Chain A
């Protein structure tokens, strides 16, 4: 007799989604997490008195709508802001605005607009195809059973429906890089780099790195999965975490926060439970980890408890990131050159041309600070003033091309990089520096420490073709099961990967139920 049917490691969004679906099916589920708040990367933190920042994930754009509905997250208190346009800030203040299929500004002409519509149409058709795969367990290519065959048949049908030219395009571009694809489709420099930014954010790649087309398409699935556009969660991202937690509890799952798992317990040849930092042991029919694969296998289970080939694969799993976050507390709303106050509600991005992005990658690769960065900026207080003291504001920016651990060390590097980033911002928002009352730079190693993401990688492991779909996280531990009996994965390290989607959690729950692992 076990304490629970399933114990889930990590109360992040995927852990909670998985718990909800299992509890909904009548299973006894316990979710444990070392953090005191639910949500994992969907978290809000007061980084300076009165300033509450979404301290990890910033945008809500690809959360699967079926989960929102199934778990009644709106009823559980989830409220979203408006769908945001993307404004790509230009040095000459003639900004490029992308809103759905429409692009304006920055000298965009009819040819650019037509090219953009065509490109979007193509991306939509590919993303739709990926959505089919994302919403189901990834099919194995060999040893197929009927479920896998059905998925492959659906996929095959969709591929066929793409038409010959599209199919050829997909096969041609998916393994190349976003740099070449941009140059094929566009001539407008800022348009190219603005799109390329989507492909590299959250990764450790430059626009000329292979796999950037795949990472771009991954983000593009949001249009089909989320259907919300890029938006913010009112009250901060932590409210998504809380909504998910209350939905899970409503379904009957139990949450135990502030209780870090220190080990996955293996008895004889199967996983039988977890040990908490308090020393308490909890037994369950299965353990489902939403921690990343490196943490799960290397740190919690231990390589010595796995067969060697699997340990080797886990060790080879790549999980690096060049993405940091800058949090600023501002005494007033900043002024951006060429932007009306009302436009500050939108998503603002700053990126050098693609060659500059690629050049910015180099210092990062060699553990140095770059003098050029990309920014993905949100000023959440425009739409949600409650996040800061009255009249004051918060600016958060996803900043790319920051090394995990620079050779000069973060003690020296952190103030240096903060100043560098502020001076880069200053040229677009003159005077912003004087508004800053508090600042915080969260570097990849901080994300690893605070949110348990190995390498600071948002996706719980790099999202590249060799670590995707039926190979995620690695062969031998796919379809949410692992090579160790009784241990399952439900986090972003499982198919279809990261970003706030909830699909790994949902798919894992369905798969575990289907296998009868809890009966």
Chain B
């Protein structure tokens, strides 16, 4: 019997104990937006924890059915707004696969570089809120100090800080400037020392260790079963990173390592993400060194104003050849070829595996778009790992799974 089960058995055997229901959220300072948890407590012990999502539902999947492929792209900014560019890139890669376009090499490098910057920005917000939830509020502001630098660079590159919409189907919008690269170089030279500051405050701190070690343990098998991805999965010791195992953009050309945890507790997930900061810096540095000359957008990239065509046939549930094959039948009549078929492309965003699934009927809009958002799946795991732990551990678990409700509810 695990420690958590023991705790539950302990309290449920007590005839005098009375259970206590608490609705934690959606207006709660530590539930990262509008997450609501229906808790059944016995004193401080959590008997059951049922996440209740949907408070931030904006219907992005449905909206995109009435928008052209390029019009839906700014909507993906609003999924995981901590790392909007990573979502944009994932979306563009999926549409590129559907339309059979390939971005030029320079664009790939730029995307990789910017995605890693947004990974740093997202992880900074994660460490900030995770530490704040556990009570170390200074880390929060130190992390925001660095995040500000990244956001300012985004602003310089594409005119917006939070919702950049930087990549385009078939490339990227803007080339980098000299000033931008200088700032980036300065940033990545300085950033590792800033990381050490956070670690000085929390890494070996006895309170931090007590709050995170042995809390929210997810064994590797259970993690796979729950469908966890990203650092939450790697913390449990599963070596799975799409950047490494199904590389896209410029990831095959750069050297980096995937940090893997050992015990799968909150502390290991924390260590994994801290290590990912360093690997991201490494990737950015290599991208800067290798950045090749050339165009930044493919010649056959579609125009932003995509024309619509009458639908040919509805492909959902079709029994044709394999889905990927149908996706790659290219219509040759015109340049703006809209594929018929379905396609699933996944990328490694800071939160985990973000997948876009399109069913296309060839009219220029997706017949159906489905987003496999890591946060939604991670929140599902929350209920499982919180059972039998204490109220304070829920907070540590939410932080360590790194969920963002904009992506979960879509």
Co-assembled chains A and B: no
Task: Tell me the B residues contacting A by CB distance below 8 Å.
Answer: none
